[in-house]
Amino acid sequence: MSLEWEQVIVDAARPAELGRWWARALGWVVVDEAEDEFEIRPEADRTPGLLFVAVPEPKVIKNRLHLDLRPQDQSAEVARLVALGACPADIGQGEQTWVVLADPEGNEFCVLSARAGG
């Protein structure tokens, strides 16, 4: 059996708005936009992507799945993401080497420290 990871589905109140935010945050491209779906990918023909879909209910608890992002400069990247509209999130992580942020709809994600040796 062969499987290819196509995308991660993200429930959203405003899929296009949240999808555009993530496209700016990741430097990805928009590959499909409709009223109730908005898809971004690293490049137009490269997977996996993120597909934002409209749902009526609000987010109420910590994500069961989240993204870990590894920047070259953690503090600069955290500052950039906060300037884009992310906010610090406390999910009970305590003092760690990573920083937990939430996107504009409250979805948590982690900004890890740079890999040792560059």
pLDDT tens digit string along 41-69? Answer: 999 999 999 999 999 998 888 888 999 99
Beta strands in the chain (DSSP E): 7-12, 29-33, 37-41, 49-54, 67-69, 87-88, 99-102, 108-111
Give the pLDDT score at 90. 85
Give the pLDDT score at 118. 57
- 92 and 108 share one domain: yes
**Residue ranges making up the domain that contains 87:** 59-118
User: For the domain that residue 64 is a member of, what is the CATH number?
Assistant: 3.10.180.10
- Of 34, 58, 82, the residue at which a domain comes to its end is 58
**pTM higher than the cut 0.75:** yes
- 75 and 27 share one domain: no
The C-alpha angle 8, 52, 2, rounded to 5 degrees, equals 25
